[in-house]
Structure 1
Amino acid sequence: VFTGTSTTSAIQVAVDAVSPSKGDNVVIADMDFPLFYVEAKRLSSRGVEVRVAQNADGDYELDQFYELIDRRTRAVMVSSVIWVNGLRLDVAELAKVAHEAGAYVIVDAIQQAGALRVDADRLGLDFVAVGSQKWLMAPYGVGALCVSRRAVEELSPPRPGYLSLAVKDWDAFWADPSKSPAGWTQVEEGALKFEYGGTFPPLSLKGLAASASLINELGVERAEEVVLRLRKALVEELEDLRLEVLSPPEARKASGIVLFRVPGGLRENYMAAMRLRSRGVMVSARGAAGVWGIRASVHFPNREEDVEALGEALRGLRG
């Protein structure tokens, strides 16, 4: 379902539907995107306890989350791929433990959808939020949410709008002189009840439809295969340059994001990222929870030549 203009709006719908209250707790990860920090702060003002899993050198052991989850845990809120270093979390195993405790699982998948497969049903996730930009390669302006059957059956939409009304014929509805706000109470059933009840930017929707068609034409399995192959080539290129690669090495934790460092400290790496960008190599300086470096990403439209171009640009910095 469409939930507004971004991943943020989709996550907010999920959090408000789960509605943690005083005495409950929620679990987040310290390296996660600031969106979850803000939501946690908002919940803490209601008396909700916020429990934070601490990374160890840019990685998490699932036991860290297990120790934080109990019968008062209302939600586990994490990204499926961590934005800083590309760590892919085992959200399926995390969901099993969360569900055993009765908690809901809210996942931000914006760094995964479009590049790696996201099967919410198979993974057992209650809410999966994405935005139209990033790996979906569409314009900004659309937030979407995949909602589990459990969430549909047990939860109510936090703020339905007028387009959430269960209207079968809108032309007849607008022409009906008998309608009154007092009678506008029946909203859509099923996952549609969580949909944003207002209008969307049509150009963003059209762009998203086009990008989804492109991804589906290639196939999500093939897209993932290309991304992981290019990621392997990128890591090898960086290792050939004897640079420090900070993304976890395990294949099951890999994504299209790789974090690395050039010699020097934080300032030197920030300046290196800026110099690379000035040469047309689009990398980013990123950091959170003690993890920092230069973030490079590869997607299926990229080619081996792009990885080689990054390597050449890095060699040029040494000169």
Structure 2
Amino acid sequence: MQSLIDKSRFIGLEECTWLYSGAETPALKVAAEAVQTYMRIRSLGPAGRENNARIEASCKANVARLLGGKPEEIAFLSNSSEIVSMIAGAIDFKPGDNVVIHTLEFPAGVLPWLLLKEKGVTVRVVNHTRWQVTPENIMAEVDSRTRIVMTSHVSYYSGARLDYRSLYARLKQTDTLLLLDATQSLGAVSVDMYEADFVVCSSYKWLLSVHGLGILGVNPTRLSAFMPKSTGWRAVTDMFSPNRFESFAFLEDARRFETGYPSYPTVYALNESVQVLLDIGVDRIERHILDLGSELIGKLTELGYEIMTPAESERRAGNICILSDSGDELAAELQERNIYVWGGDGRFRVSIHLFNDSEDIARLLQALDCCRRSSSDRTEGKKEPL
């Protein structure tokens, strides 16, 4: 399979095999140029600020298209961890309330809820079965005192994709909110922000941008009265109102969650990178990622590797996770061969995006074979002589 985009459009991608998108992606040249544009724009004073506002509006419109929503339903904060913590702090929890999470969740989706134990809130943790969690598993822990369910669309740990649409259809029959982390899916597979109450995503992974931005999609259907417990000048209707030292009013759209300026270099870069994704088409990207993933899973299985990620295409996205007690060591060995994967926590992870092709898969498999033989030789060398 050929890639959907020429590797020359990225900085340094022609000198390595990048299977690391679950951690971060290589830099798009147009995104790098956009950051440089921002730096030049700063010299224009007021005109520069006007351009910032225009690019921010364009970026929100692009992100909204990717999420199937509207620009006014998108907010930009500093990172996804901040967003999860902000939402956790905004819910009026009472002693005896509970939150439901699961064991395939990234720490950013776990830690803010643990703080709530001090308020008498119970954190219910759903255990995975063979590295998968289903809507049924989650709903079994939901009751009348469950205020919110937090889950990733695609697990950073196992690569399994959750059927969040089915989960949300059930949660809408209750008062329980759904916070969906799309950090490991948005830009790789389709995501619908109207099939959750909140959608959060980082800027620097599958969206092909850089660090510095957390994206929040706010579905207004059940959240029209939901207000943050922190604020800033960007969140209010009139920061210079005559009674600004006595009171304020929140904006009604998603901007009420923004406290100050976003990282404009990131906004400029994200505006360009998301446009690249939209031009190619997320449906095409998803098919490419799933087909190339099937190729990799099939060959790894033939070689005897134990795959954590489901083989069925509808139950995975770009992350393919393989059990390994020495995943971090293996990742380091592959890095010496200019092949980038993520290793640790009992596995190594191969992440496939639109710029990957069958040659990348072949190069990885060849390197894995060399690493295996090298490890076997080292083990043989340690045996006691007869």
Q: Quote the Cα distance in structure 2 between the aligned partners of 1:152 and 1:318.
A: 52
Q: Deviations over 1:282-316 (max 9, x none)?
A: 111243xxxx3111100011111111111111111
Unaligned runs of 5+ in 2: 1-73, 374-386
Percent of matched pairs sharing the same residue: 28
SS of structure 2 residue aligned to 1:157 = coil
What's the TM-score once normalised by structure 2's chain length?
Answer: 0.74
Query: Is 2:265 the partner of 1:199?
Result: no
Which of the numbers 175, 188, 202 marks the counterpart of 1:131?
Answer: 202
Residue aligning to 2:332: 274
What's the TM-score once normalised by structure 1's chain length?
Answer: 0.89
Q: Quote the Cα distance in structure 1 between the aligned partners of 2:308 and 2:131.
A: 7
* 8 Å contact from structure 1 (residues 138, 211) kept in 2: yes
Q: How many matched pairs? A: 300
Task: State the one-letter code of the partner of 1:188.
Answer: L
Residue aligning to 1:186: 249
Task: State the one-letter code of the partner of 1:77.
Answer: M
Residue aligning to 2:354: 300
Q: Describe how 1:1-319 pairs up with structure 2 within 5 A.
A: 1-121=74-194, 123=195, 125-167=196-238, 179=242, 181-182=244-245, 185-194=248-257, 196-261=258-323, 266=325, 268-287=326-345, 292-319=346-373
Q: Deviations over 1:61-118 (max 9, x none)?
A: 3322121001110000111111011110111111122222310001111000110111
Q: Quote the Cα distance in structure 2 between the aligned partners of 1:73 and 1:219.
A: 37
Task: State the one-letter code of the partner of 1:145.
Answer: L
SS of structure 1 residue aligned to 2:159 = coil
SS of structure 2 residue aligned to 1:149 = coil
Q: Deviations over 1:167-200 (max 9, x none)?
A: 4xx9xx5xxxx84532551221122222x12012
Q: Deviations over 1:237-295 (max 9, x none)?
A: 21232222121222221110011135xxx2x33322221122111111243xxxx3111
Task: State the one-letter code of the partner of 2:355.
Answer: P
Task: State the one-letter code of the partner of 1:161.
Answer: G
Q: Quote the Cα distance in structure 2 between the aligned partners of 1:301 and 1:117.
A: 18
SS of structure 1 residue aligned to 2:237 = coil
Larger mean Cα displacement after TM superposition, 109-118 or 9-18? 9-18
SS of structure 1 residue aligned to 2:168 = helix
* 8 Å contact from structure 2 (residues 234, 256) kept in 1: no
CA apart distance, 1:233: 1.4
Q: Comparing both chains, which one has the higher relative contact order based on Cα–Cα distances under 8 Å and sequence gaps of 6 or more?
A: 2
Root-mean-square deviation (Å): 1.8
Runs of 4+ in 1 over 4 A off after TM superposition: none
CA apart distance, 1:21: 2.6
CA apart distance, 1:120: 1.5
* 8 Å contact from structure 2 (residues 98, 123) kept in 1: yes
Task: State the one-letter code of the partner of 2:134.
Answer: E
